[in-house]
Chains A and B, each alone.
Chain A
Amino acid sequence: MTLGSAWSVGLSGLSTAADQIALVSRNVSRAGDADATRKIAAQTTNANGTVSIARIDRTAERALLEGVLSRRGEAGHETAIAAALDRLHDIVGDPELESSPAAIVATIEAELRVFAADPSNEAAGRAAVAAAGDLARTLNAASAEVSAVRDDADRAIVEKVESINRSLAELEAVSRDIRTAVGRDGDITDLLDHRDAILKSMSREIGIRTIVRDASDIVVYTDGGVTLFEAVAREVTVTPSAPLGPASTGAQILVDGVEVTGLNAVMPLRSGTLLGLVEIRDVIVPTFGRQLDEIARGLIETFRDEAKAGTGKPAIPGLFTSEAGTIPPSGSATPGLAALLTVHAAIDPAKGGDVRYLRDGGASAPGDPDYDTNPARSAGHSARLLELVAAISTARNFDPEAGLGATANLRDFAAASVGWLEERRQVTSDRTELTRAVSDRAEASLLSRAGINLDQEMADLLRFEQSFQASSRLIATVDQMIRTLIEATR
């Protein structure tokens, strides 16, 4: 140990303290940034006693980050479904209010009873037909909304796929920078932060899992195990399907050539907004649409006109009809029927019809005596109206694929449909809140473990300032000693 080496040690102490303070300022400037981790300089002592900064580390918490990634995916999944169910709820309305199909079916029944009590009262008939018109319009609107929600979901899927591809391209660029920086022994901590931020934003859209390979290289898989990123970004593809017809299902999403959604997917997605959107498009909303179609079909079937026994003629549509003008087969849904449901023009006074056909029957076949229950045009004819009232409460077959059982009467089926939607909405809303809370909690714990704490930084600042002062004092002392020696040679 010589004065010369004491001098170098002091000098290295100065430069190290300066570097440390620069690092503290870097941390302080990013305090409060959720994507920033705390940077720590790993200081080492060299063989000759000098100190230097070997590398910059960061307080990465891989396990917590993985937790945040999967929780965000779950929250994204539930949130997407909740938003779509809310839209359906807004159009169909609350079961307690009068705008829901179930409530209007009850209104029609009540108005028919009033009309049956006084079949000569045309105003009562008009009231019943007006209620029927309300119901047809509600079903039309709901059916249009079902199509709109599905089309919007499909467009959102295409957008999300594009945004995931963009994130993957960004991830590829950052990963290349990281590999280069690792080779140069450079500081990669900010690049790693950037990479984690990309992963976090992507994890909401599509459930992901990551593994870390040598040299900080990362591989990203979907939560079903399909490669999303390995050395280079893999492609996520989907064909736009909108506008979707009532009977058609949308195109499935492919990741790296593997189908990850739909019934045939071997390695399906388990979370993320993308999965939520596909479920909305292909499962939840189509089921609700099928229920609407079944309500429409049930209405046509309930209010149909039977031909007189022995004539062998088929039943024909009565109060409710569709463009086809026939009675759809019982027990299976006719896709898109709810959109086409109308009140029969021959009955609807607004279209120049006559409510007499509601009382007497035969709206679809005027003048055909085989469908006329009141050839005498008796003003007191109430038998058919009472039949219709009874028919509303008669159990009939419904499509089991609508998810509400195979038999029910029309009133109960309409009520069950609204109940089904409300229950799904309630369950999803609970799950959304729960997954969001868990996700927020995971992010908070990641932030508290890996984030920047200003108190800590301020304490470090004082420590490094003292170390800087001590090192400069050392240099001053060595300088003084050598000066003493030089003076001695005079």
Chain B
Amino acid sequence: MSIYGTLRTSISGMSVQTDRLSTIGDNIANVSTTGYKRAAAEFSTLVLQAVGTAYESGSVETSIRRSVAEQGALDYSKSLTDLAINGAGFFLVETSGSDVQMTRAGNFTPNASGELVNSGGGKLLGYSLESGLGAVVVNGTAGLEPVRLDERALKAIPSSEGAIVANLPASASAIAAGDRPSVNGAGAQYSARTSLVAYDSLGGEVTLDIYFAKTGPEAWEVTVFDRATAATSGSFPYAGPALATQSLAFDASNGRLVGSASSLAVPIPGGLTADIDLSLMSQFAGDFSIANARIDGAPAVPVSTYEMSDAGVLTAVYQNGARSPIYQIPLGYVMSPDNLSMVSGNAFLPTDASGDIQVGLADTAGLGSIVSGALEQSTVDIASEMAAMIEAQRNYTANSRVFQTGAELADVAISLRS
């Protein structure tokens, strides 16, 4: 037991309270920083082995904890490139000349070249979906590239799939074999006709003329022509042969389609082969009436906006309403997020204690979902920080009193000789 021991102890006490005040200062300063994770000072004792009955006061040391795994509240905004993670994952970003970093700060905005950059200067990384949605291999950080939104890109979507749901009039009179649309004669007759606008590979409009002709009891024939090849009258005879012809058979007892023929493969001139589903066609006594007729595809137009799904698929929305996925935004994670090391720019780097960065997809394995139009707020609560500050101040004062008392005792001991 020594007075100097007591003085040392109180100095360490003051020192750790200063550390704590520093964390509080940092926290309060970052109360509005998107994706900030609050720091907390934790203390541990350093004990000197006592000899005999004497008590040797030890000291206290600080270890700083960062609650990286703590979820911040989501603040909703109107910007679609404001992203937040609701779960355990991290966005993967890169800054110029650095390794891949992890961040929760999703306040991205496009820079001059269309790359999404957050307030810390990190460029969002993702897998390009140029070659299709299923082509992504989630395999570490290899293959990641900065996500680039190019507003000038034109895109056409060739038609590949469609459906017609319609009632064919059961009372229609059958058309002789030689007069059917499939024969493509000048005087061809039909029971009903409709048209759909499809798109070729370059986004050109291809109007499909679709003819329905009754061929016999409960038997119909559907024939598709390309309007562009129609005679000047806008109808038969078409210059080219029918794009597709299909016989349909209906059940006389319930008016539903029977048999295996339930779709129509239409090779769009200059485009893909569109599969038109006819399985919901019916034949009741009634007028020809269409309940649904659709075909996908879109002409070439620039991008209107982008949207982000919960699973992290960034989709370009074209001015015609067509959508095409362009990037898969993966999420990074480590085994022990609280041991990540924090670097400037709201970013974290892996350490030995945290484990290496692993990459997964949003909405899988507890990584959480990506919320578009929201930002993760700082996890700092101003009220608890203020309360902690009051506590730190009181504790510091108490330590200084111990020092003062120890110093006074030392003065008394020194003055014994005079």
By a beta-carbon cutoff of 8 Å, the part of chain A in contact with chain B is 2-5, 8, 12, 46-48, 50, 52, 176, 179-180, 182-185, 209, 211, 213-215, 217, 219, 221, 224-227, 230-232, 234, 254, 256-258, 266-267, 481-482, 485-486, 488-489
Contacts and interface: CB of A to CB of B under 8 A. Distances in A.
Contact of B193 (A182, A217, A226): A226
A266 B190 contact: yes
Give the interface size class of chain B.
35 or more
Given A47-B86, A256-B195, A184 B383 contact: no
Interface in B274-309: 287-294, 304-305, 307
Interface string B166-199: 0000000000000000000000011111111100
Interface stretch (B72-80, B111-119, B145-153): B72-80
B304 A180 contact: yes
Given A8-B377, A179-B321, A183-B307, 7 more contacts: A4-B73, A4-B383, A8-B75, A226-B194, A256-B193, A481-B383, A486-B386
Interface of B: 31, 73-76, 86, 189-197, 205, 209, 227, 230, 233-235, 287-294, 304-305, 307, 317-321, 323, 374, 377, 380-384, 386-387, 389-390, 393
Contacts of A488: 386, 390
A267 B168 CA distance: 12
A174 to B, nearest CB: 13
Contacts of B230: 257
A230 B195 contact: yes
Contact of B290 (A182, A219, A266): A219
Contact of B287 (A3, A215, A225, A486): A225
B35 to A, nearest CB: 15
A35 to B, nearest CB: 24
Contacts of A226: 193-194
For the residues of A in contact with B, the DSSP-based class is: mixed
A215 B76 CA distance: 25
Contacts of A209: 289
B287 A180 contact: no
Contact of B320 (A4, A50, A179): A179
Given A2-B381, A486-B386, A182 B196 contact: no
Closest 7 pairs (CB-CB, A-B): A179-B321, A257-B234, A183-B317, A2-B381, A231-B197, A48-B73, A225-B288
15 contacts: A2-B384, A4-B377, A4-B381, A8-B73, A183-B305, A211-B291, A219-B294, A225-B192, A227-B194, A230-B196, A231-B205, A257-B193, A266-B190, A267-B192, A267-B288
Contact of A180 (B76, B320, B393): B320
A182 B318 CA distance: 11
A185 B80 CA distance: 10
A182 B292 contact: no
B382 A4 contact: yes
A486 B28 CA distance: 12
A83 to B, nearest CB: 29
A254 B380 CA distance: 70
